[in-house]
Amino acid sequence: MGEMKERMRKDLELRSYSPRTIECYLRHAERFASYHGRSPNVLGEAELIAYLDHRVQEEKAGPSALNQSVAALKFLYTHTLGRPEEIIRLPWAKTPRPLPVILSGSEVARLLQSVQSLVPRMVLMTAYGAGLRIREACALETGDIDSRRMLIHVRDGKQRRDRYVMLPRRLLACLREYWKVVRPPGRWLFPGEGRDGHLSSRTAQRAVKQAAADAGITKRVTPHVLRHSFATHLHESGSDIRTIQVLLGHGSIRTTQRYVKVSKAHVARSESPLDLLGTEDGERLG
């Protein structure tokens, strides 16, 4: 794509897209141009639809992967090429919304105890204790821990939003013991060996997978399951959905409401109409 690729990159940067999203969009735009062997300048709606059909039929792209392509191409034609009429009819794939996997409290405890290496264990404990995305936990700096106000400063979260979350007392005590052992030499609280300087998300993912196996947990466990479990456990402990939304950094409360669906306490509080039949309260059923 040459010059057009640089124009698209600049357009993305000017709109404050994250580096990860920029590279993702550029990659999808390049794949589209490569598939047709021509510049997007001379390609239109028919070629866009043909490429998306190729993604589904030949590459077997799932809904999420397909929507990444759609988002990248919509940006390319709307902002970089200035031809939004070409993408008006591009469809979004319907994505399945399965309920998240949730660990019980005892499973979380077993999982954390089974992480063999200290740095990954503390990253995963922090992710669960404060409800962080694993990327957010890995990228914490030493100055982000505010023990005076019992807060953690989360920088550059999803959609580049900063936020504050709680600093649990138990987590603070563990972090102080961790500090005595590791003494992080630079800005990162959880140092790693990668190019970013902090522990990588991939290392944390491997650690949680191995720990789940060692702990005998048969559920499909990922670092994000700890975030799901944090939100659900918080709701079951009585926290309202709006508070949970703020702590998780969700832009829409509809995203947070998923956790009500998997909260055992919420479901158990609901009374079946079967139990009302033949009772005084049941008269309201008619």
Question: Does residue 228 form part of some domain?
Answer: yes
The enclosing domain of 79 has a CATH number of 1.10.150.130
52 contacts 70 by C-beta, under 8 angstroms: yes
Percent of the chain with pLDDT over 70: 88
What is the chain's alpha carbon radius of gyration, rounded to the nearest angstrom?
23
Question: Does residue 264 have a pLDDT over 80?
Answer: no
pLDDT score recorded for residue 82: 95
Q: Which residues pair with 166 in a beta bridge?
A: 151
pLDDT score recorded for residue 249: 84
Question: Does residue 278 form part of some domain?
Answer: no
Task: Round to whole Å and give the CA distance between 273 and 188.
Answer: 55
Residue ending a domain, among 87, 116, 133, is 87
Task: Round to whole Å and give the CA distance between 276 and 281.
Answer: 6
Give the CA diameter of the chain: 76
pLDDT score recorded for residue 171: 94
Q: Assess whether 122 and 226 both reside in one domain.
A: yes
Task: Round to whole Å and give the CA distance between 189 and 202.
Answer: 17
Q: Assess whether 124 and 203 both reside in one domain.
A: yes
Q: Assess whether 72 and 111 both reside in one domain.
A: no
Question: Does residue 221 form part of some domain?
Answer: yes
Mind listing the pLDDT tens digit for each residue in 171-190?
999 999 999 999 988 899 99
Q: Assess whether 165 and 227 both reside in one domain.
A: yes
Count of structural domains, the chain: 2
Q: Assess whether 17 and 136 both reside in one domain.
A: no
Q: Assess whether 80 and 151 both reside in one domain.
A: no
Confidence (pTM): 0.70
Amino acid at 285: L
Question: Does residue 282 form part of some domain?
Answer: no
Amino acid at 257: Q
Q: Which residues pair with 146 in a beta bridge?
A: 151
Question: Does residue 225 form part of some domain?
Answer: yes
Closest CA to 132 of 251, 235, 226, 240: 226
Q: Assess whether 263 and 153 both reside in one domain.
A: yes
Q: Assess whether 54 and 150 both reside in one domain.
A: no
Task: Round to whole Å and give the CA distance between 18 and 133.
Answer: 16
Question: Does residue 100 form part of some domain?
Answer: no
CA quadruple 170, 129, 161, 261: dihedral sign: negative
The enclosing domain of 249 has a CATH number of 1.10.443.10
Residue ending a domain, among 22, 55, 87, is 87
Residue ending a domain, among 20, 54, 87, is 87
Q: Assess whether 127 and 249 both reside in one domain.
A: yes
Q: Assess whether 37 and 174 both reside in one domain.
A: no
Question: Does residue 16 form part of some domain?
Answer: yes
Confidence of residue 97 (pLDDT cuts 50, 70, 90): confident
Q: Assess whether 68 and 159 both reside in one domain.
A: no
Q: Which residue has the tokens 């832009």?
A: 251
Highest average pLDDT, of 102-106, 160-164, 216-220, comes from: 216-220
Confidence of residue 259 (pLDDT cuts 50, 70, 90): low
Confidence of residue 262 (pLDDT cuts 50, 70, 90): low
What's the domain range around 222?
105-268
Task: Round to whole Å and give the CA distance between 163 and 153.
Answer: 6
Question: Does residue 273 form part of some domain?
Answer: no
Closest CA to 268 of 240, 238, 236: 236
Q: Which residues are catalytic?
A: 133, 158, 224, 227, 250, 259
Q: Assess whether 67 and 113 both reside in one domain.
A: no
